[in-house]
Amino acid sequence: MENYGKYISSPQNPKIKQILELQAKSSARRKEGLFVVEGAREIGHCLEAGFEIRSIFHCPSIMGRSAAAMELDPSIVHSGCSFEISEQVYNKLAYRESTEGIIAVFHQRNISLENLKLSDNPLIIVVESVEKPGNLGAILRSADAAGADALIVCDPLTDLYNPNLIRASIGAAFSVQSVCCSSEECIKYLKDKGIKIFTAQLQDSSLYYDSPMDGPCAIVMGTESTGLKDEFRKAADAHIRIPMLGKLDSLNVSVSAAILLFEAVRQRNL
């Protein structure tokens, strides 16, 4: 941990510039092995999940207007890595409209497929080449709510520490085990573990509620524009679809993921 206890009033401060770079560039996050979390609840979730904090920046005047910020453990806010910042500086950093006056920098904790801790009856959500971090964040929220074991992101187009993903996940980015890998690596892992693969697709598919998902399974989603690669389609134990009764032929990927996850939950609780 850093230990300066300084007051920062200028947006040109090197530490403030570093936060802005970490927020904006995945290359900076990878190089430094750091990421930024904004908001008291999200910081609390991140700490509860065991992530190591590097530094925390708080604006007392804004925190005083936020009930959520006031609930954060004072020992964290005023720890050895704490920096007090001006409202001008905080407003430069803040991503969210409803600000809470507190932002933290954490060390990344990247895990591999082999490190995943699965339950006796695992439920996994797999997404392939999803580009929008907001969609991934929403999928993580659904995965957390459904008690899913893990999210596997195949051939990622955004990193798991994107600030928009963290914001959209409302802390689920820290509570759900998440791994990035190639589609081929994921397929091999699932097959080796005896986990059935259910691919969401329109072609050659059965209605999702007619497919048995009460055993170990992975629900695999592709992008709304291009769908899944052939590798997953061929490796699948079943192809499933959500009935579309209107004029459109697809749902947002995060909505589809929620529907399918909770169908697996329903079947497991019959």
Domain ranges of the chain: 7-107, 113-268
Predicted pLDDT of residue 247: 87
The number of beta carbons lying within 10 Å of the beta carbon of residue 145 is 14
Predicted pLDDT of residue 2: 45
Q: Domain 7-107 - what CATH class?
A: alpha beta
Identify the architecture of domain 113-268 in CATH. Answer: 3-Layer(aba) Sandwich (3.40)
Nearest CA-CA partner of 143 in 163, 183, 173: 173
Per-residue confidence of the chain (270 residues) as pLDDT tens digits? Answer: 444 458 999 999 999 999 999 999 999 999 999 999 998 888 989 999 999 999 999 998 888 766 666 667 777 777 768 899 999 999 999 877 667 899 999 999 989 999 999 999 999 999 998 889 999 999 999 999 999 999 999 998 889 999 999 999 999 999 999 999 999 999 999 999 999 999 999 888 999 999 999 999 999 999 766 778 899 999 999 999 999 899 887 789 999 999 999 999 999 997
What are the distances in angstroms from CA 74 to CA 56, 70, 71?
12, 8, 8
- What is the tens place of the pLDDT at every residue in 135-186? 999 999 999 999 999 999 999 888 999 999 999 999 999 999 999 999 999 9
Residue keyed to tokens 């209107």: 246
- What is the tens place of the pLDDT at every residue in 252-268? 999 999 999 999 999 99
List Cβ<8 Å contacts ≥24 apart for 202-208. Answer: 202/227, 202/241, 202/249, 202/250, 203/239, 204/239, 205/239, 205/240, 205/241, 206/238, 206/239, 206/240, 206/241, 207/240, 207/241, 207/242, 207/243, 208/240, 208/241, 208/242, 208/259, 208/260, 208/263
Fold matches, 7-107 and 113-268? no
Structure tokens at 267: 């079947």
